[in-house]
Amino acid sequence: MNEFDSIIGALAPDSLLRALSRDQLEGLLVKSSRRELSKGDVLINQGDEDGDFAVYLLSGALKISFVSASGREIILNYCAPNELVGEIALLDSGPRTASVSAVVQSEVLLLPTKLFLETVSTNPASVVGVMRELARRVRQLNLVVESDRTFSMGPRLARALVRLIDRNHSDGRLVYSPSQNDLGAFAGLARENVSRLLSEWESQSIIARVGRSLEVRDAEYLELLAEFGDDL
Amino acid sequence: MNEFDSIIGALAPDSLLRALSRDQLEGLLVKSSRRELSKGDVLINQGDEDGDFAVYLLSGALKISFVSASGREIILNYCAPNELVGEIALLDSGPRTASVSAVVQSEVLLLPTKLFLETVSTNPASVVGVMRELARRVRQLNLVVESDRTFSMGPRLARALVRLIDRNHSDGRLVYSPSQNDLGAFAGLARENVSRLLSEWESQSIIARVGRSLEVRDAEYLELLAEFGDDL
DNA sequence: GCCCTTCTGTGATGGCCATCACTATCGGGT
DNA sequence: ACCCGATAGTGATGGCCATCACAGAAGGGC
């Protein structure tokens, strides 16, 4: 029993890191650092030149966002535990193109770029895992472009909510309940309209509000809206 | 001298495939097929279940596009020679999410999924190359989301044109001159407005038209527009 | 050369949604 | 308990741009 057992034991069965051998994993962990984040802590700032680590989320939730040339925030994704983040900058040594911050108390591993790439690239099984993850992200972004271009507000917000549904529970709770502001930055619409839509959906019992957080009551409806857009 | 020498010799110096060893490359090529495409030929159809090959573009130009739920075409990218295409479906065995077609006469290699993945994943150098390529694509899509959400027509079209500038020549020719319809589907605006903007830019000598194809005369202006949007 | 399809130019119209301008409410820190 | 910043509700306004409706031009296949 060594000091990494608790980390390794806590890795999800489908974790990307699980594809590594025990030795590789320990070799990586010994050079990595573990870090606690409080709500709101910023881990990576858009523009940082320190692309020398990737982030593996152990627990909590992260927000990936950037500020566009026009000054508006765009939220690209919310991350759940066992996801890898920030590996884009690993690959082309430019400045970070997005910021990463904790939206709830979180625990992360900071993996050193070079070692991580070396370890992964010499392990065929984990290579495919990482590539799969990147591919998933490309697909997701394709969907965002689709909805931004061709959907009206309702379906766009529906997609955002569906993406936030916590698949670990069957009630409609979200992995994280963002403010209307953040929901807008995630779905691509103005905060005021988020407010209007949520009110409308609440009155139709499609969603509910418990305290300040949302719950999806009629996921099926939102999923239809998210899939087919306005011509539902 | 064997039958693959002509292909291998023609690979660009920075080609992804160059990272493979001679043996690996030949092993891959012997299982691959080469194909000629005429303008308009469709290589992959959105929805196809045959995710069993990736495409490597030897010469010509390809268009990657899909049709949104609302029926409108969205063009994700135009590919230049030595690019890898269609590897997303390799990684998560679902149906193809986009179509690929030739916009000019083209030559492609069809690489069998399984062998390609095996070959690449056992070659650390090429792994990094492929991952880098995926990362580039994620970055590109982030930029598309940014411009779709926060830029007006002008800057959006400017970005599309800048992406089409042929970097192999210093005059402002494009790698491929799409119709206004396609430009619209690429930049995310209506064909009519593409027409209006191009006319305006032509009168300002920012672009020029030779026959049916465009040339960028003031790339710097378009790049500024593309970078800073309306508040230029 | 001639049709017919595809592409292009340009005005008019209207709808969607961002923005502005408030007020109201919440929450958490000391 | 109190304040203050962050969050949320809601109407009014206007601008951007998609859409519609044509007409004209170009191209290419036989």
Q: Which residue is nearest to nucleotide C25 (CA to C1')?
A: A212
- pLDDT, tens digit (0-9, with 9 covering 90-100), for A27-40: 999 999 999 999 99
User: Residue A230's pLDDT band (boundaries 50, 70, 90)?
Assistant: confident
Q: What share of chain A has pLDDT > 90, as a percent? A: 81
Q: Report residue A93 as tokens.
A: 């040594």
Overall average pLDDT of the A105-131 stretch: 94
Strand partners, B100: B44, B64
Give the pLDDT score at A2. 64
pLDDT at A9: 85
Query: What is the token pair recorded at B21?
Result: 């060893």
The set of residues with CB closer than 7 Å to nucleic strand C is A 72, 152-154, 188-190, 192-193, 211-212; B 179-181, 191-192, 195-196, 198-199, 212
Residue A117 contacts B, CB cutoff 8 Å: yes
Average pLDDT for chain A: 93
H-state helical runs in chain B: 5-10, 22-29, 88-91, 113-121, 124-150, 153-164, 180-187, 191-203, 219-228
Whether A128 and chain B come into contact, CB under 8 Å, resolves to yes
In this structure, what token pair is assigned to residue B112?
A: 């069998």
B227 contact A CB<8A? yes
Contact A135 B91 (CB under 8 A): yes
Q: What is the pLDDT of residue B2?
A: 64
For residue B84, what are the β-bridge partners? B56
Q: What is the mean pLDDT of each run of 10 residues along chain B (232 residues)?
A: 76 90 94 93 92 92 95 95 89 88 95 94 94 94 97 98 92 92 98 98 95 92 94 72
Distance from the Cα of B111 to chain A's closest Cα (Å) equals 17
Question: pLDDT tens for residues A165-222?
Answer: 998 888 889 999 999 999 999 999 999 999 999 999 999 999 999 888 899 999 999 9
Q: CA nearest B74 in A: which residue?
A: A146
Contact A48, A96 (CB under 8 A): yes
Better-scored residue on pLDDT, A12 or B225: B225
Which of the residue ranges A9-13, A52-56, A88-92 would you say has the lowest mean pLDDT? A88-92
Q: What is the pLDDT of residue B120?
A: 95
> pLDDT confidence of A51, banded at 50, 70, 90?
confident
